[in-house]
Homo-oligomer: A and B are copies of this chain.
């Protein structure tokens, strides 16, 4: 039985994992990508994302590797693991189920103003 907490928090991990499923990346870039894509809907702070990345690593959903960029700066790259892809798939499934429920509820309320 999935807890509500996991489900709600799933949205954040889901976004990060989906970014990494496309291409390995590092914290600073992940933050920019997601905030760009959010286009003002929300803004993730560094203090939100770095702890989340550490948690994803602890859970085995990503692995990390320090790399030296052309610029000379050190970057901590995050790679999604097989387990991470499973979690992404499952999370996506649950997300849809939850969204479907929310939509059904809210749209049942009335036919006005939406």
Interface string of A95-107 (1 = CB under 8 A from B): 1011101101110
Complex Cα gap A3–B98 (Å): 21
Give the residue of B3, B4, B43, B114 whose beta carbon is less than 8 angstroms from that of A89.
B114
Cα A92 to Cα B109 in complex, Å, equals: 11
Q: How many residues of A contact B (CB 8 A)?
A: 43
Number of identical protomers: 2
**CA A2 to CA B43, docked complex, whole Å:** 8
Name A residues whose Cβ lies closer than 8 Å to a Cβ of B.
1-4, 7-9, 11-12, 14-15, 18-19, 21-22, 37-38, 40-44, 48, 85, 88-89, 92-95, 97-99, 101-102, 104-106, 108-110, 113-114
